Amino acid sequence: MYLTETAQRYLRATGPEHDEIQADMAGVADEEGFPIIGPDAGGLLRTLAAMTRATSVFEFGSGFGYSAYWFLQGMPADGEIVLTEFDTDELTMAEEFFKRAGLTERAHFEDGDAMETINEYDGPFDVVLIDHQKERYADAFNAVREDLRVGSVVVADNLMRGPIDIEDLLAYFESGEALPDNKSMHGVADYVETVRATSGFQTTVVPVGSGLSLTVRVE
Ligand SMILES: C[S@@+](CC[C@H](N)C(=O)[O-])C[C@H]1O[C@@H](n2cnc3c(N)ncnc32)[C@H](O)[C@@H]1O
C-alpha cells in the first residue's frame, strides 16, 4: 500500500460511487481476481473525458469494459470508445455489460492484439488509456502520439502498484539503482522515461488507484 489507509479511505469516502452495472462489474473482478482500474481511478478517467470533451477514446487493454464504462460516463452523447482485448471471453463480457447499459452503439469491440488494432484507427484521440502488457507501454505511446491533438491526454495505469514494486522503481528513479529482472518493472520505467523525454508532452504521476501517469500533448 503506497498511500496511508486513512488517505485511501478518504478517497473512497469522497469519490464516485458505482452504478448498478459497475457494481456488477466490480463483483466479477472480485470473483475472478481481475485487475480493474477501480472507482477512484475510474472517476479520474470520467473527469478527463469531461474536461477534454472527448468524442474519441482508445484503450490498450479493456478487459470486460470497466474502465471504458467510466470514460463513457464523462463523454458527450456522440462520443465513441475503442475497446481492445485479446482475451475473447473478457471482450464478450464487455459486450454484454454494454448491451445491458444501452452503450453498444458508442463502443467498438476489437478482439486481438491492441498493438495491431491501433493501426486500424486514425485518431485523433482525445484520451488514450494504456493498461495492457507493461513491457509494451512505451511502444503504445509511440504508436498513438501522432494521433493526438493539443490538449489530448495519455493515461497509463500501474505506475505505483500492480505487477511492479514501487520501492524498486523509486530506487531506480532516485538513485539509478538497477531494477530487478522483471519485464513489467522495466516496462514501466521505460515508459516513464519515454514520455518524459518526448518533446511537446508534459507528464504528471498521480497517486490514485494503482498510480496513473497523465501525459498531455501541449504543442
Ligand atoms: C489490467 S487489465 C485491463 C483492465 C481495464 N482497463 C479496466 O480497468 O477495466 C489488462 C487487460 O489487457 C489485456 N491485454 C494485455 N495485452 C494485450 C494486448 N497486447 N492486446 C489486447 N489486450 C491485451 C489482458 O488480457 C487484460 O484483460
Give me the DSSP letters along 89-150: HHHHHHHHHHHHHT-GGGEEEEES-HHHHGGG----EEEEEE-S-GGGHHHHHHHHGGGEEE
Q: Which of 25, 59, 85, 161 to mutate to test the pocket of ligand 1 (most atoms within 8 A of CB)?
A: 85
CA angle 168, 41, 37 (to 5 degrees): 75
pLDDT at residue 173, rounded to an integer: 97
Q: What is the CATH number of domain 5-217?
A: 3.40.50.150
What is the structure's pLDDT at 2?
84
| Domain chopping of the chain, boundaries | 5-217
SS3 59: strand
Report which protein residue has its CA nearest ligand 1's atom 26.
Answer: 63
Using alpha carbons, list the distances in angstroms from residue 161 to 34, 73, 110, 168. 14, 25, 27, 11
Place of cell 478527463: 48
Ordered per-residue pLDDT tens for the chain, 219 residues: 788 999 999 999 999 999 999 999 999 999 999 999 999 999 999 999 999 999 999 999 999 999 999 999 999 999 999 999 999 999 999 999 999 999 999 999 999 999 999 999 999 999 999 999 999 999 999 999 999 999 999 999 999 999 999 999 999 999 999 999 999 999 999 999 999 999 999 999 999 999 999 999 999
What whole-number distance in Å separates Cα of residue 58 and Cα of residue 73?
15
Residue 63 Cβ inside 6 Å of ligand 1? The answer reads: yes
Cα(17) to ligand 1 centroid in Å equals 23
| Cα 84 to ligand 1 centre (Å) | 7
